[in-house]
Structure 1
Amino acid sequence: MRKLETPAGQGTAVRRDPAIDLVRFLCLLLVVAAHCMMVSPVLHKDGTVTTANTLMDQAWFTPVVWVLMIVPLFFVMGGVTGLGSWRRLQARGGTGFEFAQLRLLRLVRPAMALLAVMWAGLWAALLLGVHPQVVQLMTTGAAMPLWFLAAYLTAQLSIPLMARFHQRAPKLTFCVLVVLVITVDSLRGTLPVLAFVNMVFVWCAVQQLGFFMADGYFNRRSRTWLMGAIVSSNLLLGLVTGVAVYPGNMVVNINPPNLCLLLLGISQTATLQLLHRGIAWLATVRWIQKAVAVAGRRAMTVYLWHLPLLVGMSALLLLTDFPKPSPDTADWWWARIPVFLAVVAMLAPVVLIFGRLENHPTAASHARGPSRTAVVTAGVVVFLPVVDAALNGLTLALLGGGAACFALAVLLLGRVPTPVLPQAPEGTTPGNAVTLPEEGLRANLES
Structure 2
Amino acid sequence: MVTERCGNAQVAGLVSATMRVSPTLSDSEQETSAQVAARARSGDRSPYIDALRALAILRVYLLHTLWLTWLPMVFPAMPVMFALAGYLTAVSLDRGAPLRVVGSRLRRLLPPLWALAAVAVPLMVLVGWRPGLLDVTWWVAPLRNPPSSEWGGPFSLGLWYIRAYLWLVLLSPLLWWAFRRWPVGALLALPAFAVLLTSPLVDLPVSPVTDVVWSVAAYGSCWLVGYARHTGLLDRVPLAWYAFGVGVLALGAMMWLADRGEDDQLGGLAWGWAVVLLLMRARPRLDWLTQVPWLVRLIRMINARAVTIYIWHLPVLYAAGGLLTLAGLAAGKAAMLGVGTTLLVAVVLALGWVEDLAARRRPSLLPPG
State whether TM-score is above 0.5. yes
**SS class of match (1:324):** coil
Residue deviations 1:253-298, cap 9 Å, x none?
3xxxx56325412323314544x42645436632222111222111
Letter in 2 for 1:345: T
Aligned position for 1:324: 330
User: How many residues are treated as equivalent by the alignment?
Assistant: 307
Residue deviations 1:73-121, cap 9 Å, x none?
1111111111112222x2xxx3x33322222221111111112212233
When normalised by structure 1's length, the TM-score is 0.61
Contact 1:110–1:357 (CA under 8 A) maintained in structure 2: yes
In the alignment, structure 2 segments of 5+ residues that lack a partner are 1-30, 130-147, 361-369
> How many Å apart are 1:13 and its aligned residue?
2.0
Alignment partners' CA distance in 2, 1:362 and 1:304? 17
Aligned position for 2:227: 211
> How many Å apart are 1:167 and its aligned residue?
1.2
* Backbone CA RMSD of aligned residues: 3.1
Alignment partners' CA distance in 2, 1:103 and 1:324? 41
Where do 1:5-404 residues align within 5 Å?
12-38=41-67, 61=69, 65-88=72-95, 90=96, 94=97, 96-124=98-126, 138-186=151-199, 190-193=203-206, 196=211, 197-221=213-237, 224-244=240-260, 247-249=261-263, 253=265, 258=266, 260-271=268-279, 273-274=281-282, 276-277=283-284, 279=286, 281-282=288-289, 285-321=292-328, 323-324=329-330, 332=332, 336-359=333-356, 361=358
Alignment partners' CA distance in 2, 1:259 and 1:155? 23
Contact 2:254–2:271 (CA under 8 A) maintained in structure 1: no
Quick check: 1:3 aligned with 2:17? Answer: no
Residue deviations 1:207-231, cap 9 Å, x none?
1111111123334556544542442
Letter in 2 for 1:269: L
Identity in percent: 23
> How many Å apart are 1:313 and its aligned residue?
1.9
Alignment partners' CA distance in 1, 2:287 and 2:269? 26
Alignment partners' CA distance in 1, 2:275 and 2:319? 36
Distance of aligned partners of 1:222 and 1:339 in 2 relative to their CA distance in 1, 3 Å threshold: farther
> How many Å apart are 1:187 and its aligned residue?
5.7
> How many Å apart are 1:14 and its aligned residue?
4.1
Distance of aligned partners of 1:259 and 1:177 in 2 relative to their CA distance in 1, 3 Å threshold: farther
Name which one, 1 or 2, has greater alpha-carbon Rg: 1
When normalised by structure 2's length, the TM-score is 0.73
Contact 1:4–1:84 (CA under 8 A) maintained in structure 2: no
In the alignment, structure 1 segments of 5+ residues that lack a partner are 39-54, 56-60, 128-134, 326-331, 364-447
Residue deviations 1:182-209, cap 9 Å, x none?
2222367534237532211111111111
Residue deviations 1:36-57, cap 9 Å, x none?
124xxxxxxxxxxxxxxxx5xx
Distance of aligned partners of 1:151 and 1:269 in 2 relative to their CA distance in 1, 3 Å threshold: same
**SS class of match (1:359):** helix
Contact 2:257–2:267 (CA under 8 A) maintained in structure 1: no
Alignment partners' CA distance in 1, 2:87 and 2:357? 18
Distance of aligned partners of 1:136 and 1:270 in 2 relative to their CA distance in 1, 3 Å threshold: same
> How many Å apart are 1:302 and its aligned residue?
0.8
**SS class of match (1:12):** helix
Distance of aligned partners of 1:239 and 1:187 in 2 relative to their CA distance in 1, 3 Å threshold: same
> How many Å apart are 1:242 and its aligned residue?
4.0
> How many Å apart are 1:28 and its aligned residue?
1.0
Contact 2:250–2:270 (CA under 8 A) maintained in structure 1: no
Letter in 2 for 1:288: L
Distance of aligned partners of 1:22 and 1:173 in 2 relative to their CA distance in 1, 3 Å threshold: same
**SS class of match (1:15):** coil
Residue deviations 1:309-330, cap 9 Å, x none?
1111212332332x216xxxxx
Letter in 1 for 2:340: V
Aligned position for 2:11: none
Letter in 1 for 2:103: Q
Contact 1:142–1:307 (CA under 8 A) maintained in structure 2: yes
> How many Å apart are 1:237 and its aligned residue?
0.9
